[in-house]
Amino acid sequence: MPPLEGLRVLDLSRLLPGPFATLVLADLGADVVKIEAPPDGDALRSLPPLAGEASGAFHALNRNKRSLALDLRRPEGVAAFLRLAAPADVVVESYRPGVLDRMGLGYAALRAASPRLVLCSITGYGQDGPYAGRAGHDVDYCALAGVLGLNGEPERPVLPGVQIADLAGGAWPAVAGILAALVRRAATGEGAHVDVSMAEGALALMTLPLALAWARGAPTVRGRELLSGGAATYGVYRTKDGRFVALGALEPKFFAAFCEAVGRPELAPRQLEGGGAGPRAELEAIFAARTRDEWAAFAAAHDVCVAPVLEGDEPCSDPHLAARGAFVEVATPWEGRAIRGVATPVRLRGEEAPRRPAPRMGEHGEAVLREAGFSEEELASLRAAGALGP
């Protein structure tokens, strides 16, 4: 039995943070019903490149979910949603603060439908505060939190290659908040409103750098902190073939073992010279003497915190990731192909996540409504009002 089997989640979110959070819940067995606005649904469906009818990104984030096309701009759609919410466990949304209230679906209305319901709101800046109503994207939240300012070379910040605030700052706190609220509900019977601010989630990633800065009484400096360019024993080096390798030998025992393995034991005592900078020039020369793949073989032979920097699709062919089942393929008949994706990293040993394809727009609408007790006449009435999509 999957750990979240029997849990019903109504997902009003779109694009990345909310759908990733509900993907985790779906992979753990929750019944996630994606509520999409007809006629087009989640904008991610049409984001290029397409994997057929829908975007590869949409497929990656929406496997194991069902889709109901319901127009919440119409009173009939709102009434239908409140009826669906009454027996549900969780609602996830990512509108700006106040939008759900104006739709007639705010926390007060949802709580009236079911005091046991957990509402999770994922926003850029949270439900209150001076920035609550601002528009934003991942880069803005990272900028405000100081994450962007710490990332890159001293001369200028560098955009991260992945959406840090959306995922680490939004989706994962949402999962944690939902599960925490459900655990408390099991004891009290009461639901909760989980307030996720992606900016504050990104700020949480600054816990260690800020703690170190406060302890020394000086602010963080981009490219100079111990773990962001300041230490020669924790960084990225160019190899003989123009590729890159990562060295993470922070602890003296690992650096000493590395120096011994490359035949330069005299470098080990110099790890903290220059205020912790270490023998950078010597390490640059050492790494430039071998190709990246030669360093990969070296890393396999020596326990010294060295790893090749994989690029492009290379992680897909890594033997360790493959052995761990880090990638999945989901048969998707409506696209006429299997869709590749990244497995949810939360797993229970000995158990496998389901592999149902991402849904077509509104594919499960009638089934979901019938499960909630809607009659054929009521379904016809919703269609006639334009509230129920195809």
The residues annotated as belonging to the active site are 137, 166
Round to whole Å and give the CA distance between 173 and 73. Answer: 29
SS (H, E, C) 114-173: CCCCEEEEEECCCCCCCCCCCCCCHHHHHHHHCHHHHCEECCEECCCCCCHHHHHHHHHH
Strand, helix or coil at 360? coil
Tell the residue number behind the tokens 């710490």, with chain if given: 150
Q: What would the two tokens of residue 342 be?
A: 């990244």
Round to whole Å and give the CA distance between 80 and 1. Answer: 30
- Asked whether 33 and 111 are in contact (CB, 8 A), the reply is no
Compute CA 371 distance to the chain's CA centroid, rounded to the nearest angstrom.
Answer: 30
CA dist 312 → 6, 161, 315 (Å): 38, 12, 8
Round to whole Å and give the CA distance between 87 and 244. Answer: 53
User: Ramachandran region of residue 15, left (φ > 0), alpha (ψ -120 to 50) or beta?
Assistant: left
Task: Tell me the helices (H) and strands (E) count for the chain, helix number first.
Answer: 17, 13
Q: Which of 234, 228, 229, 247 lies closest to 299, judged by CA?
A: 247
Residue 128 burial (C-beta neighbours within 10 Å; 0-12, 13-18, 19+): exposed
**Cβ neighbours of residue 297 closer than 8 Å, sequence gap 6 or more:** none
Tell the residue number behind the tokens 């509230």, with chain if given: 387
